[in-house]
Structure formats: structure tokens, C-alpha cells
Amino acid sequence: MPRLFAIGLLCCTPALAGETSPSADLVDLVHQDCGSCHGLTLKGGLGPDIRPQSLSHYDVETLSTVVLDGIPETAMPPWRPLMSEADAKRVAEYLLQGELK
């Protein structure tokens, strides 16, 4: 069932609620919420391809900062209001490796 990005942001974000969210929720979040712009398989849409081979120039720290703060003056939003730093780091690890540790 497609979920509107705005709804995901405003109300239904259990995956973002805390650092204890199960890994599967974080993966869902990436593919649904990030996927609303980057494509469900993350190969690009409104936003660029963010599969591991496209992000190899990033390290985990830099990438989690991009996720937390967004990219100013672009459609890439900051996720800090919705995501803990620990979750952002796990998202970054997931994006870089294609799997969650």
C-alpha cells in the first residue's frame, strides 16, 4: 500500500520514534520515506541514486550528517527532527552496505 510522504512525516512514524526500533522498521523507512524521492529501490527518482555503489565516496559519519541535516537549497530534507543520531548512523550503514548490521 503506498504511503504518502507527508503522512509518513506527520503522523505514522513509529520507525523514527526511538533508538530501539527493530532493524526491519528502519529498512522499511528507508525504502518508503527515502524511496518516495530516491525511488523504492533507491536507484533514483526526484533524488539521486543512493545505492551503495553510488555512495562509496561517503563515510558513515559524513553520510549520517547528510541524512540528519539534509542538503541546503535542495529538496533533500533534514531528518534530525524525526530521527535520532543513532538511527541516522544505522541508516548510513545500511545505505553504504546494503544491509543492516
3-state secondary structure the chain: CCCCHHHHHHCCCHHHCCCCCCHHHHHHHHHHHHHHHHCCCCCCCCCCCCCHHHCCCCCHHHHHHHHHHCCCCCCCCCCCCCCCHHHHHHHHHHHHHCCCC
For residue 40, count other CB atoms closer than 10 A to its CB: 12
Least spacing, CB of residue 15 vs ligand HEC, in Å: 10
Binding to ligand HEC (CB under 6 A): which residues in 46-85?
Answer: 46-48, 50, 54-55, 63, 66-67, 71, 74-77, 79
Q: Is 38 in the site for ligand HEC (CB under 6 A)?
A: yes
Interaction between residue 8 and ligand HEC (CB under 6 A): no
CB of 2 to ligand HEC, least distance (A): 14
Q: Which residues lie near ligand HEC (CB under 6 A)? A: 5, 30, 33-34, 36-38, 46-48, 50, 54-55, 63, 66-67, 71, 74-77, 79, 91, 95
